[in-house]
Amino acid sequence: MSAEQKAAKIRDVLPSYLYIVIGSFVTGAGLVMFINPGKIAAGGVSGIATILFHTLGWDPGLMIFVLGVPLFLAGFAIFGKVYGFKSFLGTILLSGSTSLLIRVIGPEGILDYADPISTLLSAVFGGVVTGIGMGLVMRSGANTGGTDIIAQIISRYTPMSLGVALTVVDGIIICSSAFIFGITHALYAVITVYIAGVMIDKVVLTLGKNHAKTVYIICSSNMEEVERNILSELNHGGTILKGTGMYSGEDRPVIMTVVKNNKVAGLTRIVRNADPKAFMVVSDAYNVLGEGFKSLSRPDSF
């Protein structure tokens, strides 16, 4: 492998590992500032670590590592070396970040829990911060060694979907926390899980420059002009799909193209000028891979 090829490979791989490093630290910050001091066991290994900290006084960072290693080994054996290594790195970094930050910030976090509203604030902002962190890690194609590996294994070997499996696993942990911290804290944990899930989706799907719009165009006339101008003015390609009008029964070819967000207005102008009676459907395309967008060969293309 030449020096140029090695440099290109490093440039492709580096962002993936930066996501793991930054995401693990951000997740650890959310756990230490909000989740752990708020007694919110919002599922996952961190939820178990929170329970063990408040019942036995065990360091949550250390517990994340101890509980995460068996899960990492399972992921390594079932999902492959690259996934396993990245997940192990995520586990180590989250464990280290949590242990370090709990010594710097303190186990009491940053809110005054004498005020009842602080627990609600911890549930909300804990979900936001940890969701952003976990989203960054998942964007790299890894995780922080959490119970999502268990959910993936269950989903792989049973008819249960990944979402249902993850809900069941985290639900067991949240329900267990109700017997220790009370039903109120368990309900707060549900809020945290929901918010974290929304933030993970936002980060995984929209972070970066590869999100765009998928556009379907049905013309009643001058379709060739639309095709020609998409190619020449926007420097984009497309695909001609076969369609049939439900009312007329006539053949209606459909142009399907994907363009970056800043080119939607130009595409609309092209269609309007060629055929003011055309029909357009514009929808979000969150992760576009291939020529003109992010390369499909990149390690973080998913």
Which domains are delineated in the chain? 3-206 (no CATH), 212-285 (3.30.70.120)
What is the model's pLDDT at position 182?
93
Q: How far apart are CA 68 and CA 98, in angstroms?
A: 14
What is the model's pLDDT at position 132?
92
pTM of the model: 0.71
What is the model's pLDDT at position 87?
75
What is the model's pLDDT at position 38?
94
Q: How far apart are CA 1 and CA 200, in angstroms?
A: 37
What is the model's pLDDT at position 162?
57
Among candidates 268, 150, 299, 274, which has minimal Cα distance to 224? 274
What is the model's pLDDT at position 264?
84
Q: For residue 52, what are its two tokens?
A: 């063990």
What is the model's pLDDT at position 175?
92
Low-confidence residues of the chain: pLDDT under 50: 299
What is the model's pLDDT at position 10?
61
Cβ atoms of 219 and 73 closer than 8 Å:
no
What is the model's pLDDT at position 12?
61
What is the model's pLDDT at position 301?
52
